[in-house]
Amino acid sequence: MEPLNPASEDLPAELVVEGGRLVTPDGVRDGTVVVRDGRVAALLGPDEPLPAGRRLDARGRYVLPGLIDSHVHFRTPGLEYKEDWEHGSKAALVGGVTTVVDMPNTRPPSLDEAGLIAKDAVIRGTSWADYRFHLGADPEHPELLADIDPRIATSAKVFMAGHHTAPVVFRDREQLRRAFAAAARGGIRLVLHAEDQHVFDLLDASSSAPDSYGEYEPHRPRSGGIVAVAQVVHLVREYGTKAHILHVSSAEEADLLSAAAAEGLPLTFEVTGHHLSFTHDDTTRRGPRTRLSPAIRECRDQKRLWHAVLHGEAVSLGSDHAPHTVEEKNRPPADAPPGLPGVQELATGVWTGLRTRGIDPDEAATHLARLMGSGPARLFDLPGKGRLEPGADADLTLLDPNTRWQFSAHDVQALCGWSAYEGWTFTGRFTTTVKAGHVAWDIRTGFSGRPEGRWLQGSARPLEVAR
């Protein structure tokens, strides 16, 4: 971040976010945020004089950095009937999220630099949130990962197992090795759907597809994830590749990944809101709304994932926002596509879970700022994002920590119009989201201004890393 000009301290502010509970990298404290030129100019104490400028009353609320959801599927191009960037990014703002990182499962999939540039051309002018893209790793051309311009992408998605929207799958182990080797040479981070397709193929050969949702989780069991994670640990150890495992679903995977991190391997992992919120029993009762990939598992797995969240093992929270239409989700169990909308519900659902578990509000806010702020900002090279501090982008979100309210279909911003959280009573609610120093959404007045989200390009790569 560029240093601020000290001479600007006496100028009127663009926005003064007054009297909130500030969630900063140095701790949580009462204070005021001063915004100038779209950036955080200062954090003032309760007794310090305030500059002139538009006021935003934050009393009784936490002021968090604009949150980052590093795992969304906004379905553009080619699948806009399920979701589009206008609806998806509006859902993000209402959920406190100001930056998203989108996946390559589109039609056509985004498997090279030209594909990402074309994708931005379609999106530009429609997104309320800033955005970055995960490139799709191509098993037919894994060598491309050695030469990706980091201004275009700093990460690449690897599918080790297939499902309805997976564009390409690494079925050949030699292709996977070549991808890890190339990514290590290029300094690009691999983000992985780590389930082993060979395990699933073996099981499919001896059993029929499930005809009920109670049979779905055993049909796609934890063994697929455990085998895949063990492979990834081996490849990271061999090549030194930076890797991030997405949507970890089982206790055993979390144990393996935490042990690998303790060994010093550059291997991190994400936990999703739905794996923290639901269990296999919910899928048995409720059917397709929590039909997911990886599957929702047992109570013991959920407890282990919460432990990973609370003890710093997990580095990020992701929504895996992956809407489908109601008609698609109501197909027979074997045919219904996995996925749910979640970018709007993620932070509120996790906040509710933290408070239900007796976590002190300041500590809960610190967890949220780490897992949806500084953690993903560091992983994916997002300077200016995810931290409430002078010089950072003035992306902020205000959280009323104690309001209890029931989430309904009427609240859903996603284009699909439904949510697995319908009927849930949440604790805490986002009330205002500030984007680049301007109030972009407020619970009383709705959206204001225009969708001015921008493509966040990465930093230029040092020559020694590129070669």
Ramachandran bin of 264, using left for φ above 0, alpha for ψ from -120 to 50, beta for the remaining angles: left
Under 8 Å between Cβ of 18 and 42 = no
**Tens digit of each residue's pLDDT (9 = 90 or more) over 129-148:** 999 999 999 999 999 999 99
Q: Above pLDDT 70, what percent of the chain?
A: 96
2 pLDDT more than 80 = no
In which order are the strands placed within the sheet that holds 67-72? 67-72, 97-102, 130-133
Which listed residue (84, 102, 320, 395) is catalytic?
Answer: 320
**Tens digit of each residue's pLDDT (9 = 90 or more) over 252-285:** 999 999 999 999 999 999 999 999 999 999 999 9
Q: What is the pLDDT of residue 286?
A: 86
Q: What is the pLDDT of residue 9?
A: 61
Mean of pLDDT values over 308-317: 98
Mean of pLDDT values over 73-78: 96
- Tokens 């275009």 belong to 152
**Tens digit of each residue's pLDDT (9 = 90 or more) over 384-437:** 999 999 999 999 999 999 999 999 999 999 999 999 999 999 999 999 999 999
355-388: b (≥16 Cβ within 10 Å) or e: beeebebeebbbbbbbbbbbbbbbbbbbbbbbbb
192 pLDDT more than 60 = yes
Sign of dihedral through CA atoms 350, 245, 257, 254? positive
Highest mean pLDDT out of 3-17, 214-228, 443-457? 443-457
Q: How far apart are CA 315 and CA 386, in angstroms?
A: 13
Q: What is the pLDDT of residue 163?
A: 72
**Tens digit of each residue's pLDDT (9 = 90 or more) over 18-57:** 999 999 999 999 999 999 999 999 999 999 999 999 999 9
463 pLDDT more than 90 = no
Q: Is 255 a catalytic residue?
A: no
Query: Confidence band (pLDDT; 50, 70, 90) for 467?
Result: very low
Q: What is the pLDDT of residue 8?
A: 54
315 pLDDT more than 80 = yes
β-bridge mates for residue 132, sequence order: 101
Task: Record the tokens describing residue 25, joined without a space.
Answer: 């990298």
Q: What is the pLDDT of residue 166?
A: 74
Q: What is the pLDDT of residue 324?
A: 97
Q: What is the pLDDT of residue 3?
A: 46
Q: What is the pLDDT of residue 1?
A: 52
- Mean per-residue pLDDT of the chain: 94
Burial class for 239, CB neighbours closer than 10 Å (0-12, 13-18, 19+): middle
Mean of pLDDT values over 205-217: 86
Q: What is the pLDDT of residue 215?
A: 85
**Tens digit of each residue's pLDDT (9 = 90 or more) over 345-359:** 999 999 999 999 999
Q: How far apart are CA 273 and CA 318, in angstroms?
A: 7
Sign of dihedral through CA atoms 403, 405, 410, 416? positive
**Tens digit of each residue's pLDDT (9 = 90 or more) over 80-89:** 999 999 999 9
Q: Which residue has the higher pLDDT, 286 or 93?
A: 93
